[in-house]
Amino acid sequence: MASRKLRSIKNKKKAADALARLAQKHLIDNPNAIIDAGNSISLFGEYTIVKHPEECTVYKNRVEQVVLNNTKNALSWCIFDKYKIHNLKHSIMECDRQLGYRKMEILHYVNCIKNSADEFQKGVLFDRLYNSKSQALRIKKQLDKCVNSAKYWQQKGFENETSRLGIK
């Protein structure tokens, strides 16, 4: 009876070790791996995105690179950095920054409209609010194009990796 328990403990230990080796080989060391660990995301073996309540910080080999407003933009930035597409990487950063400014500006105008008693001032603020919303929408569309480009580049890179290995 006791030897059966010892054998099962040894088998569990061997199975756990085999699973750890398998995970190390196919997940952690995989150059295309994206692993979500709750409050952080590990990408491609060299990037880490740390999620904060209002922003995300991107680290490359444990060195802070950029702070962005959400994980989608951070993930796109990492893909462009991986494939060395600098113009789109900078577009992500700039659009993310501008969209953050526009969102804060919209909140400011909404608060001013709520607190204003003068009808003329409310009219001016509504015009500014409309202008800020239209600019935010334009920036959001541009940012969505960049994110879709990142998806394309990641898929293209993944297909190149698998075709080179003869896996298709």
State the helix-helix crossing angle for 86-115 and 71-82, rounded to 10 degrees.
160
Calpha distance 51→57 (Å, rounded): 7
* Non-local CB neighbours of 109 within 8 Å, separated by 6+ positions: 125, 128, 129, 132
In a 3-state reduction of DSSP, which class is residue 58? Answer: strand
The answer to whether residues 132 and 116 touch, using CB atoms and an 8 Å cutoff, is no
What is the residue extent of each domain of the chain? Answer: 28-165
Calpha distance 74→50 (Å, rounded): 10
Encode the chain (168 residues) as per-residue pLDDT tens digits. Answer: 445 554 566 677 787 777 777 766 666 666 777 888 888 888 888 899 999 988 999 999 999 999 999 999 999 999 999 999 999 999 999 999 999 999 999 999 999 999 988 899 999 999 999 999 999 999 999 999 999 999 999 888 656 555 544 444
